[in-house]
């Protein structure tokens, strides 16, 4: 497989882990210094983002994903549809500005950075921007 194929497969695996609530698997795909920037501009680290995902489940779908590889660093860009499906007991979250999450389909554009260490690709950064209607 090429780096391009490996990275597409990693992103598909990441989306599936999120949709299935397999947060242990998701954790293995992220570096410990992972930074997640939400559509509203707030950010959190790996552990806080995974905690947020556990309370506010979603089904992510990537569209028109582009992959650019620069040695052991890769940049993935493309549309993202996040089908947010919060638990009944979801509380206001600092990660999203202390508001109670609602059921919604978020249209966004996302940029991710992955690095290859010891032959394995892992994500170190994710930034999304909500699309304007």
Model pLDDT, residue 17: 97
Check pLDDT > 90 for residue 19. yes
More confident residue, 16 or 106: 16
What span, in angstroms and rounded, lies between the C-alpha atoms of 65 and 101? 26
pLDDT band at 98 (very low <50, low <70, confident <90, very high): low
CATH of 3-130, one of 3.10.450.50, 2.30.40.10, 1.10.260.40, 3.40.50.720: 3.10.450.50
Average pLDDT over residues 37-44: 90
Q: Where are the domains positioned within the chain?
A: 3-130
pLDDT per position as a tens digit, 104-128: 888 999 999 999 999 999 999 999 9
- Torsion, CA 24, CA 19, CA 32, CA 51, rounded to 10: -80
User: In the prediction, which pLDDT does 116 show?
Assistant: 98
In the numeric block, which tokens belong to residue 123? 């994500």
Q: In this predicted model, what pLDDT tens digit does every residue of 42-93 receive, in sequence order?
A: 899 999 999 988 888 899 999 999 999 999 999 999 999 999 887 767 666 6
The alpha carbon of 95 is separated from its chain's Cα centroid by a whole number of angstroms, namely 13
């Amino acid at each position: 497989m090429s780096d391009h194929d490996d990275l597409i497969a990693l992103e598909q695996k990441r989306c599936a882990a999120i949709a299935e609530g397999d947060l242990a698997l998701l954790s293995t795909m992220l570096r410990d210094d992972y930074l997640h920037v939400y559509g509203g501009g707030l950010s959190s680290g790996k552990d806080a983002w995974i905690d947020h995902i556990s309370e506010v489940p979603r089904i992510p779908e990537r569209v028109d994903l582009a992959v650019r590889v620069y040695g052991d660093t890769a940049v993935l860009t493309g549309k993202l549809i996040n089908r947010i499906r919060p638990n009944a007991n979801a509380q206001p979250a600092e990660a999203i500005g202390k508001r109670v999450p609602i059921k919604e389909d978020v249209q966004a554009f996302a940029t991710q950075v992955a690095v290859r260490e010891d032959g394995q690709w892992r994500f170190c950064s994710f930034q999304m921007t909500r699309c304007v209607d």
